A and B are shown apart, each in its own frame.
Chain A
Amino acid sequence: MTSAEPPTPTPLAFPAIFHECFPLVWRLLRSLGVREPWLDDAVQEVFVIAHQKLPEFDGRVRVTTWVHAIAYRVAANVRRRQGRDGRNVELASEHAIQAHTPEHDALNAESARFVAAFCDGLSEGMRDVFVLCFLEEWGQKEVATLLGLSANTVSSRVRLLRQAYREALRERQGEETGR
C-alpha cells in the first residue's frame, strides 16, 4: 500500500517573500528602466501589491515568478509615469551605480555599468525580453506568456539580442585594449 497523501499546504509568509524577493525585485525594476528617483517607491509598490494579492496566490508558479510578474507590471506603469513626468533626466544605471560603488568592487561596478547601459540602449520591447530571458533566465515560453507575445517573436528577439550583446561586448573589449 502506498500512502499517496497530498502534501500539506504550508502557509506562505509575507516576510519570507519580502526577504527572498527584495534583491530580485530591485534588480528587475532597475533593469527594466525604472529610474533612480522612482525606484524606492516602485519597489514598495510591488510589495504592497504582493501583500494585497497574496491571498489569491495559488502556488501554481514559483513565488518568485509571481512577484516578478507583479514587478514587471509595476515597472511598465512607472515607465509610463516617468515618460510623462519629464524627470527622465539621467540614466538610472549611471546614477545608481555611482551611488553604490563603495559597496561593490570596481570590476563588478564596471560590469554593472555595462549591463545597465546595454539595457538602457534597448527599446522597451527588446529590453523586456533581454532582462527576463538573459538576466532573469526565465524560459522563453514564460516570457512569451507574461509579455503577451508569440513564442516565435520571443525567440527571434532572443536571437537579435544575442547578436547585439556580442557586438556590445566586442566594442567594450576594443575600448579596453585601446586604453
Chain B
Amino acid sequence: MTSDDLDLEPEERRLLREGYDALGPPSAKKDFILGALSVRLPGALVPLASDEVTPLTKGGLGRALGAKVAGGLVIGALGFALGMRVSSPASSGDSTHALQPVPREPPVSIPIGSGDAPGALALGELDAEPTTRLDTKVQPAKPGTASTSTESPAEVSFYEELSYIRRAQTALASGNPALALGLMRSLRELHGGGALLAERGMTEVLALCALDRPAEARTVADSVRARSDGSMYVARLDKTCARSGVAADSSDASGGQATSTGQTSKRKE
C-alpha cells in the first residue's frame, strides 16, 4: 500500500510533501549530530573502504560516502564541541541526554519491541512487504569492524587536524577534558596519521591527566617522547602527571581507570 490509497488530490499531496520536506534539518544540524555521535560511538562513523559501502537506495549514496563521512566528522565534531558549551535545556536536565563522551556503551537503551511504546511489536514482526525494496539483501556489518586507525586510508588535512586540536585545547581550557579526550580519540580513529601527532599526543596527555588517568597518560606520553618531533614536548610532558621517571602503579597501569593515587598527588599541574 502506498499513499495512493490515501485518496488525496495531487494538490493536497503536493502541499503535504512540500511541508514535510521543509521540516527537514538545517544543514548544520547534520554535522553537529555527526560530531556528537562520533564522540558517543567512537569508530562507528569511520567510513569503510569504498567497496564495502552498500548503497541503501537505488540511486545509491554509494562510493563517495566515505569521503563525505570523513569530512562531516571533522566539521561535526567541531560543531558538536562548540554546541556543547551552549547545550539545550533538555541536555542539561536529563540523565539520558548524555553529551559526555561515552566509551563504547550507549547510555540509553530503548527496549525495541518490548512493549515499551504503546502497541509495541518486535521489529522482527515487521515482515509486511515494504512499499519499495532494496535491490539486494543486506547483512549488517559489525559495528566494531569499521576500519581502525592504522587501516584508515583517509588523509587528514593539516587544517582539519589543527582544528581538532584547537577545539580540544579550548575544551581543556574550559574545564571539559572528557570532550578534549573524545575529540583526540575520534581524530585518531578517523586519521591515525597526520602532521601534528606530537601535539595531538600532548593534548591527549593533558586531558588524561585532568581526568585523573595517569597510566593512560604515561602510555601516550611515551609515544610522544619516542617520536622524532616529540623532543620539544619533553619539558612540557614533565610538567604533567605523565612526567618521566614516575613508575606506573600496577593497578593503575592495568586498569587504566585509576583514580587519585600517590602519583597523581605529585602532579605539578
A-chain residues with CB within 8 Å of residue B174 when the two chains form the complex: none
Instruction: Tell me which residues across on chain B come within 8 A of A59, comparing CB atoms.
Output: 134, 137-140
Partner of B20, one of A40, A74, A135, A140: A135
- Report 20 cross-chain contacts, Cβ distance below 8 Å, ordered by A residue: A7-B137, A13-B54, A15-B69, A19-B65, A22-B25, A26-B25, A37-B89, A49-B108, A53-B123, A54-B142, A62-B130, A69-B126, A85-B93, A114-B15, A115-B15, A115-B22, A134-B8, A145-B125, A146-B119, A149-B119
Which positions 69-128 of chain A face chain B at CB distance < 8 Å?
69-70, 72-74, 76-77, 81, 85, 87, 93, 96-97, 99-100, 103-104, 107-109, 111-116
Please give, as numbers and ranges, the residues of chain A lying within 8 Å of B32 by CB-CB distance.
Answer: 40
Report the bound CA distance from A45 to B98 in whole Å. 9
The answer to whether A48 and B54 touch across the interface, beta carbons within 8 angstroms, is no
Given A44-B37, A69-B123, A138-B131: A112 and B22 interface contact (C-beta under 8 Å): yes
Question: With A49-B110, A134-B3, A141-B1 in contact, is A26–B29 under 8 Å at CB?
Answer: yes
1/0 per residue B99-138: CB within 8 Å of A?
1000000111110100011111101111111111110111
Report yes or no: B30 in contact with A22, Cβ–Cβ below 8 A: yes
Are B23 and A45 neighbours in the complex by a CB distance under 8 Å? no
Contact B56–A20 (Cβ < 8 Å): yes
B residues sitting closer than 8 Å to A (CB atoms) are 1-3, 5-8, 12, 15-16, 18-27, 29-30, 32-34, 36-37, 40-41, 44-48, 52-57, 61, 65-66, 68-69, 72, 88-91, 93-94, 96-97, 99, 106-110, 112, 116-121, 123-134, 136-143, 145-146
Q: What B residues does A60 contact at CB under 8 A?
A: 124, 126-127
Please tell me if the beta carbons of A14 and B146 are within 8 angstroms of each other in the complex: yes
Interface string of A1-43 (1 = CB under 8 A from B): 0000001011111111111101100110011000011101101
CB pair A16 B124 closer than 8 Å: no
Contact of B117 among A20, A63, A72 (CB under 8 A): A72
Which of A38, A116, A138, A166 meets B19, CB within 8 Å?
Answer: A116
A174 CB within 8 Å of chain B: no
Q: How far is the CB of B137 from chain A (nearest CB, A)?
A: 5
Contact of A44 with B130 in the complex, beta carbons under 8 Å: no
Are B128 and A142 in contact (CB-based, < 8 A)?
Answer: yes
Q: Considering the chains assembled together, what is the distance between the CA atoms of A116 and B21 in angstroms? A: 11
How many A-B pairs with Cβ below 8 Å? 286
Q: Separation in Å of the A131 CB from the closest CB of chain B?
A: 9
Contact (Cβ within 8 A) B48 A13: yes
A47 to B139, CA, bound (A): 18
Given A44-B40, A52-B106, A58-B124, is A112 in contact with B23 using a C-beta cutoff of 8 Å? yes
Known contacts A19-B68, A97-B22; can you find 10 more A-B pairs with CB under 8 A?
Answer: A11-B138, A12-B138, A16-B56, A51-B44, A52-B109, A59-B137, A62-B132, A115-B15, A135-B16, A148-B118
Given contacts A48-B40, A53-B112, A133-B6, whether A11 and B25 have CB atoms under 8 Å apart is: no
Are the C-beta atoms of B24 and A27 separated by less than 8 Å?
Answer: yes
